[in-house]
Each structure stands twice: as C-alpha cells, then as structure tokens.
Structure 1
Amino acid sequence: MDPPLFVYLPLIFALYIFTQHFFHKLRNIPPAPILNLPFIGHLYLLKKPLYSSLAKISNRYGPVVLLHFGLRRVLVVSSPPAEECLAKNDVIFANRPHLLAGKHLGNNYTSLVWTSYGDHWRNLRKISSIEILSSQRLQMLHGIRVDEVKSTIRGLNWASEQRRMVDIQTVFFELTMNVVMGMIGGKRYYGENMEEVEEGRRFREIVKDTLGLV
C-alpha cells in the first residue's frame, strides 16, 4: 500500500527550503530569511506597522536584506548605503514594478508615479519640476500651504476645547491632500469650507477606493 500524500509533504517542503537556501548562497545576492514560502514568500513576516517589521528583519539579517513579497523580489536598505541607491545609482533603481494597480490607476503605466525610467519619465519630471515644484511656483502657492496649516490648527484647537479624540494620522492625511489639491486644482476636498460638497464626497470615495487597491 502506498504511503498517504501527507507523508511526502514534509519531505517536499524540507527539500524546497534546502534548495532555496543552497542556491541563495551560490548567488551573489544580499542575505534573506531562510523560510521563503511558495507563493507568499516572506509576507508572513510582515505585521503592522510595516516599518517596525522591516526594522526587526534588518536588525537580524543586516542593513541590506532581500525579501520576496509573493513572487516579487524587494530589496530593503536601512543604512547609509541607501544613499547609493537614491543618489549615485538612482537611475538603476528608478524603474517601477509593473503592478496591476499601475495599469488601471496609472493609465497603463504612463503616469509619473508608475512609469519606468526613460524619455517619457524625464519629460513628466521636467513638467512637474517647472509647473509644480520649482522655487518660483512653490513661492506662488505659499499661501495655500499656510491657509491649510492654519485651518488644521484651528480644527485641533476646537477638538481640544471639546475634549474630542483626534486621529493625527487622519488629520495629516487630510492636510496633505488639501495642500496637494489646492496646488493642482485650487480646491479643497477635506474639512470645512468646501465649495463643491458633492464633488468632494466623490473625490474622497475615489481616494479611499484607490488606496484600498494599492
């Protein structure tokens, strides 16, 4: 009588782990946690908050760690050598992964956030640098940032006087979104004094759904 399947499963799993570990050592790649599970990779190691989980992994395996998020490889750099990734070798690390979210939310990977390095990316970066992020443009839009910060402070003061609990993460998210939309479209979609209430409601729903997909 043939042994049941569950007898072979531990052997197959052990062989898989050994093979992964053996070939990892043969290749010139950064260290990684030994247990790289099929399909999910190292996702089982991640808990909220994400930065805390990555810090624990870095403390154990070193400042440069290679993780697998599902079938996608992710390089975690948490030390001064990160400057080499972001400055000296920024072109090498400039490409974006072709995720499904980038296809549907980034107009088939053509937006600045999702497009890979190349002529199109350089053109978008030039436009954003001139029209939004230049010193002259930022100075012109200085009043929007000041007004939004003042509005946020007034809201916090009111909540304090009413002894209401405040979610700081939500407050700063709404502040950031109002600043960004004020600079781009001259509108605010969070908090008080919204000119387009229905438009603001739809915008908030879109942002919520988008963040859920990403």
Structure 2
Amino acid sequence: MADKYGPLFTIKLGLHLALVLSSWEMAKEFTTNDLAVSSRPKLVATKHLCYNYAMFGFAPYGPYWRELCKITTLEILTNSRLEKLSHIRVSEIENNIKDLYKLWIKKNHMSGLILVELKQLFGDMNLNVILRMIARKRYFGTSDGVNEEEARCCQKALGDFFHLLGLFVVLDAVPYLGWLDLGGQEKAMKKEVPQIPCLTSEVSIPISPLF
C-alpha cells in the first residue's frame, strides 16, 4: 500500500480513521508535530478494562493525558528513577539463577540435564520485577510468605486483561450491531473478576520514593 499511496496515507478501520507512516523520515517528522494524530480512539475494551479511558497508555489526548504524560516522563521513567530501582532487576535475576541451581541439584540425574519451562520462568520473573517496583511484593521464588494460588490469580488476571484488550469487537466497527455482542467479548470485559491481592489496600505502595 505504501508503494501505491506513498509513505503517508490514511486508512479507514471501521468507524476510525488511522494514519499510516511507512518511512522513518515521516515518523521523525511526526515526533515533533504529532498533535493532530496523538489521540486514541475510544474502544469498548479501553472503556471497560481501563476505567473509562483513565489509564495513561489508552487515554485520549487532552489535559488529563498531558498531565499523566508529564508525571510519567518526569517522575517515573527518568533515568535516575530507573537507576534507583535497578537493584530489583538485579536481585530477581540472581534469585532465578539460584532457583535454577537448586532445581538442578534436586532433579539432577546421570545425564546432568533437567527440563525447564522458560516461558513460565521468564513470566514469573517479569511479574516479580513489576510488582516489586509498584507494590514492594514478589510472588514467585524462594521468598517467605509466597502464596502460589494468589500469585497465579494475579498472573491470570493480567493475562486476561491483555488478551481481551487485543480482541476485535464488532461494536467498535459497526455500532448498530453492538447490542448483539457477537462472540461475547463485551460480556467478558464487564465480568467481575476477583480482587487481585497484590493491588489491594493492604499492600503499602511506595508513592513517596517515586514522586
């Protein structure tokens, strides 16, 4: 399509008009002049899953988004802030290496080889890093007070969130067919899920070190 229409063109996705950039020159131009296309469409998934478009990554452009962007870029994602939290990433990698070694000692046989599910291993490590940065809590590994059921509940909730967020919903493209809820996606998004213990009020979230 870029060969036919050029490096910059628009395309209609249902009711939404999208701008397509297919060259780095155009992308560079829009990093400094992106006001006209910086907003995001209001989709069913972001309405139900993102607290009515309140999450920073899915909020439409406006005063609210600009304030969140300022807080995120100046207070949370600066090099100094990430550097202060680097010990969490280092410690989680060390903990995973220790766990692998203990597993190898426990299950080592004559061959000297063991089977490890890397997808689960890296998933658990990433969740530990995220939760320790946000809520000072880790779910997986050899730490005291680890609740396996609670941990898997949190992991499943996050997995369901991203899965539902990526689904195509008929209502987004053809509003007058939305009442049918073909496939039941909207019903699944509205479904009440159990509270995730890692995000409840009983956890002391470190606001002051970040802000």
TM-score range relative to shorter protein: 0.5 to 0.7
Distance 1:68 1:195 in 2: 51
- 1:148 — aligned with what? 92
TM-score for the superposition, normalised by structure 2: 0.58
TM-score for the superposition, normalised by structure 1: 0.57
2:135 counterpart letter in structure 1? G
Structure 1 gap segments, 5+ residues each: 1-30, 32-57
Residue 137 of structure 2 corresponds to residue 187 of structure 1: yes
Larger radius of gyration between Structure 1 and Structure 2: 1
Compared with structure 1, are the counterparts of its residues 135 and 68 closer, same or farther at alpha carbon in structure 2 (3 Å cutoff)?
Answer: same
- 1:203 — aligned with what? 154
Relative contact order, higher structure (CA 8 A, sep 6+) = 2
Distance 1:153 1:93 in 2: 45
Matching of residues 36-115 of structure 1 within 5 Å:
63-64=7-8, 66-80=10-24, 81-85=26-30, 87-115=31-59
Give the conservation status (yes or no) of the 8 Å contact 1:152–1:175: yes
Distance 1:90 1:63 in 2: 16
Alignment partner of 1:74: what SS? Answer: strand
CA shift at 1:162, angstroms?
3.6
Q: Deviations over 1:89-138 (max 9, x none)?
A: 23333211111111111111112112112221122223223442233322
Structure 2 gap segments, 5+ residues each: 105-111, 166-211
State the Cα RMSD in Å. 3.4
2:32 counterpart letter in structure 1? K
Q: Deviations over 1:61-96 (max 9, x none)?
A: 7644644444434334332122223x1223333211
- 1:10 — aligned with what? none
Identity among equivalent positions (%) equals: 35
Q: Alignment length, in residue pairs?
A: 156
